[in-house]
Amino acid sequence: MLKKYILSLSIVSTLLFQGCSNNEEKKSANEMIAAKEYVLTGLDKKQYVVKKEGKGFKLEGAEGKIVIFDIFATWCPPCRAAASHLSSLQEKHKDNLIIIGITIEDKIEDAKLLDFATTYGAKYLLVNSDQNRRLVNELVKELELGERFPIPTMAMYKDAKLINYYVGATEEEFIDSDIRNALDK
């Protein structure tokens, strides 16, 4: 009799705990949703949410605007040279363009990024977040550039649709032409 009681208790306990595993499935679904969202912190201390939609990326609140993700490093000479050109484009297309500079440098201090912005004329959004690396890795994966990609790398999107991307030093005029075409100007 005691054996039957213990066996019944074991079966009921197993079923009870097995039912609890459903929470892990819900957690996995939540993690999958969160994996498609990147919360970036700008030097202005504001948070910017980038969402992956299909193979593209979209900045929350930037519907209809062009978003350029500039993947760079403060020590990179071509990245330094690109900063003033990107600032020029940001000013020229300020109502229709958002440029986000995403550093690949882990644990860089905000002061170093501010120094970069001041020294090289980066007058666009620079983000410094623990999400930078996640977003960079996903952008590069979708662009099929491999794990060891060159910098600067820039990807231009409009409403999560890839317009074009650039690897290495790129003439301002080429980027401007793509912006104008995407805006139908």
pLDDT along the chain (185 residues), means of 10: 57 48 42 73 95 95 96 97 97 96 93 97 95 94 92 96 95 96 86
| pLDDT of 23 | 45
| pLDDT of 26 | 42
| pLDDT of 70 | 98
d(CA 164, CA 1): 74
Quick one: tokens of 138?
């996903």
| pLDDT of 162 | 97
Q: Residue 125: in which H helix or E strand, if any?
A: strand 125-127
